[in-house]
Amino acid sequence: MSTTADAPVARPAGGSGSQEIRHKRTPRSELLLGVLAWVVGLVFVSPVFWMVLTSFHREADAATNPPSVFAPLVLDGYRSFFGSNPWPYLANSLMASVVSTLLVLLLAFPAAYALSIRPVNKWSDVLFFFLSTKFMPIVAALRLFLFAVRTRLLDNIWLLILFYTVMNLPIAIWMLRSFLAEVPKEMLEAAEVDGAGLIRTMREVVAPVVMPGIAAAALICFIFSWNELLFARVLTGTVAQTAPVFLTGFVTSQGLFLAQVCAASLVVSLPVLIAGFAAQDKLVQGLSMGAVK
Q: Which residue ranges make up each domain of the chain?
A: 80-288
Region 102-131: what's the mean pLDDT?
79
Region 23-49: what's the mean pLDDT?
82
Question: Class of 80-288 per CATH?
Answer: mainly alpha
Q: How far apart are CA 17 and CA 31, in angstroms?
A: 23
**pTM for this entry:** 0.79
pLDDT in tens, 235-280: 988 899 999 999 888 877 666 788 888 899 999 999 888 888 877 7
Q: Can you give the pLDDT at residue 282?
A: 65
| Residue 225 pLDDT class (50, 70, 90 cuts) | very high
Residue 202 scores a pLDDT above 90: no
Q: Can you give the pLDDT at residue 189?
A: 82
Residue 90 scores a pLDDT above 90: yes
CA angle 181, 183, 186 (to 5 degrees): 125
DSSP single-letter state for residue 68:
P
Residue 16 scores a pLDDT above 60: no
The sign one gets for the Cα dihedral 273, 247, 97, 213 is: negative
Q: Can you give the pLDDT at residue 91?
A: 94
Q: Taking Cα atoms as reference points, which of 282, 109, 137, 122 lies closest to residue 212?
A: 282
Percent of the chain, pLDDT > 70? Answer: 78
Q: Which tops the pLDDT comparison, 286 or 210? A: 210
Q: Can you give the pLDDT at residue 109?
A: 92
Q: Which tops the pLDDT comparison, 197 or 88? A: 88
